[in-house]
A and B are shown apart, each in its own frame.
Chain A
């Protein structure tokens, strides 16, 4: 079993829809959680960075962490065609050798006009 599970999709939604992207994990030591967005033929870019449980909002994006269920989510409100990309979750314990992150497989999202 992988430490981090993420549905690879692809996920296709109409413009304006609310999108929910999710990851589950097995290691209870994970404390820091990140979401990356990767456009085609580009490197991943950091979208959200959160610590422990709770919600964090940044514009149309909300990151949610439920440590009791070992489950994290990224919500995108009023989705736009420009949100079409692959979204990767990543996580790590408080201390880890060399700053390694554990990544999910990535979910491919397509927002149709």
Chain B
């Protein structure tokens, strides 16, 4: 069965901190994604990756970076956390490169920046 695991369900950090959100998938998927989800705004794509060490900007990349050193792991980095980055962060993965396959999601990390 498909499994996407996000390292933390809840996280509280302070303004200015560097924050790492980790995501691991066990399906050998090539594509991985990071979204944030806010009330009234839906899912917004931050970054995605279609191969190891490859990354592409999504719709709202400002203030974020990503790392994909291994196929199964995709990290989201908040370089200097700000209060407007308080949100639910969702990681997802899908099968192959330029594909139309469904994405499989983790259960999210609820991040609060104080």
Query: Which residues of chain A have a CB within 8 Å of any CB of chain B?
Result: 8, 31-32, 34, 36, 41-46, 49, 88, 90, 92-101, 103-106
Contact = CB atoms under 8 A, between A and B. Distances in A.
A3 to B, nearest CB: 11
A104 B42 CA distance: 7
B96 A46 contact: no
Contact of B104 (A46, A103, A106): A46
B84 interface: no
B31 to A, nearest CB: 4
Contacts of A41: 107-108, 110
Contacts of A8: 40
A113 to B, nearest CB: 25
A98 B31 contact: yes
Given A43-B106, A46-B104, A99 B98 contact: yes
